[in-house]
Amino acid sequence: MRLAVVAGMWILLALAPFWMPFLGGYTALGTRVLVLALAAMSVNFLLGFTGVLSFGHAAWFGLGAYGCGLSLKFLAFSTPLGLLMGTLLGGVAGALLGALMVHRRGVYFAMVTIAFGQVFYYIAFQWSSLTGGDDGLRGFARQPIELGFLRFDILHDDRAFYYFVLICFAIIVSIMGFILRSPFGHTLIAIRENERRARFLGIPIERHIWIAFTLSCFFMAFAGSLYALVNNFADPRGLHYSLSGDFVIMAVMGGMRSFWGPLLGAVLFEVLQDYISSVTVNWMSFIGMLVVVVVLFFPRGILGLVRQPRAA
Amino acid sequence: MSEQPVLHVDNVSKRFGSLVAVRDVSLTVGKGELRAVIGPNGAGKTTFFNLISGFFPPSAGKIIFDDRDVTRLSAQQRVKLGMGRTFQITEIFPELSVFENVRVATEVANGYGLRPWLSKTESADLRRRIDEVIAMTGLSARADRLVGELAHGDQRAAEIAMALALRPHLLLLDEPTAGMGDQETYEITQLIRKLHKDSNLTIVLIEHDMRVVFHLADRITVLDQGKLLAQGTPQEIAANEAVQAAYLGKAA
- What CA–CA distance (Å, rounded) separates A180 from B89? 28
- Chain B touched by A139 (CB under 8 Å): no
Q: Which amino acid would we find at residue B87?
A: F
CATH number of B82-185+194-201: 3.40.50.300
A200–B95 CB contact, under 8 Å: no
CB A75 within 8 A of CB A84: no
- CB-nearest to B113 from A196, A203, A310 is A203
- What CA–CA distance (Å, rounded) separates A55 from A243? 9
For residue A7, tell me if it sits in a domain. no
Taking 90 as the threshold, does the pLDDT of residue A1 lie above it? no
The whole-number pLDDT of residue B209 equals 86
SS3 B85: strand
Per-residue pLDDT band for A312 (boundaries 50, 70, 90) equals: very low
Buried b (16+ CB within 10 A) or exposed e, B194-204: ebbeeeebbbb
For residue A192, tell me if it sits in a domain. yes
Taking 80 as the threshold, does the pLDDT of residue A151 lie above it? yes
- Contacts of residue B133, Cβ cutoff 8 Å, sequence gap at least 6: B102, B106, B161, B164, B165
Which residue of chain B is at minimal alpha-carbon distance from A193? B93
Per-residue pLDDT band for A54 (boundaries 50, 70, 90) equals: very high
A199–B76 CB contact, under 8 Å: yes
Return the DSSP state at B74: -
Taking 90 as the threshold, does the pLDDT of residue B126 lie above it? yes
Q: Where are the domains of chain B?
A: 82-185+194-201, 208-241+248-252
For residue A293, tell me if it sits in a domain. no
The whole-number pLDDT of residue B248 equals 55
CB within 8 Å of chain A, chain B residues 20-79: 53, 75-76, 79
The whole-number pLDDT of residue B3 equals 59
Residue of A49, A181, A193 for testing the chain B interface, max B β-carbons within 10 Å: A193
CA-based nearest distance A263→chain B, Å: 23
B116–A179 CB contact, under 8 Å: yes
The whole-number pLDDT of residue B242 equals 87
What value does the mean pLDDT of chain A take? 92
- CB-nearest to B146 from A186, A194, A310 is A310
State mean pLDDT over A220-241: 95
What value does the mean pLDDT of chain B take? 91
The whole-number pLDDT of residue A147 equals 80
CA-based nearest distance B42→chain A, Å: 23
State mean pLDDT over A102-123: 92
CB within 8 Å of chain B, chain A residues 180-239: 182-184, 186-187, 189-190, 193-194, 196-197, 199-204, 208, 211
Per-residue pLDDT band for A311 (boundaries 50, 70, 90) equals: very low
CB A68 within 8 A of CB A85: yes
Name the residue range of residue A132's domain: 27-240
- Tell me: the pLDDT tens digits for B57-106? 999 999 999 999 999 999 889 998 999 999 888 899 999 999 999 999 99
Taking 60 as the threshold, does the pLDDT of residue A92 lie above it? yes
Residue length of chain B: 252
The whole-number pLDDT of residue A310 equals 44
What's the domain count of chain A? 1
SS3 A256: coil
Whose CA is closest to A166, among A6, A8, A2, A11?
A: A11
Helix (H) or strand (E) holding B28: strand B19-30
A202–B109 CB contact, under 8 Å: yes
Compute the radius of gyration of chain B from its Cα atoms. 18
Percent residues over pLDDT 90 in chain B: 76
State mean pLDDT over A164-175: 97
**Inter-chain CB pairs, A–B, below 8 Å:** 90
Which residue of chain A is at minimal alpha-carbon distance from B101? A190
- Chain A touched by B217 (CB under 8 Å): no
For residue A284, tell me if it sits in a domain. no
Percent residues over pLDDT 70 in chain A: 98
- Tell me: the pLDDT tens digits for B40-71? 888 899 999 999 999 999 999 999 999 999 99
Pairing of strands A151-152, A145-146: antiparallel
- Tell me: the pLDDT tens digits for A18-36? 999 888 889 999 999 999 9
CB within 8 Å of chain A, chain B residues 108-147: 108-109, 112-118, 146-147
- Chain A touched by B105 (CB under 8 Å): yes
Per-residue pLDDT band for A309 (boundaries 50, 70, 90) equals: very low
Q: Higher confidence at residue A249 or residue A299? A: A249
The whole-number pLDDT of residue B159 equals 93
For residue A245, tell me if it sits in a domain. no
The DSSP line for B144-212 is TSBGGGS-HHHHHHHHHHHHHHT--SEEEEE-TTTT--HHHHHHHHHHHHHHHHHH--EEEEE-S-HHH
For residue A251, tell me if it sits in a domain. no
Cβ-based contacts of B105 with chain A (< 8 Å): 201
The whole-number pLDDT of residue A154 equals 87
How many other C-beta atoms are found inside a 10 Å radius of the C-beta of residue A111?
13
The ipTM is: 0.85
The whole-number pLDDT of residue B246 equals 77
The whole-number pLDDT of residue B198 equals 87
Whose CA is closest to B140, among B168, B161, B118?
A: B161
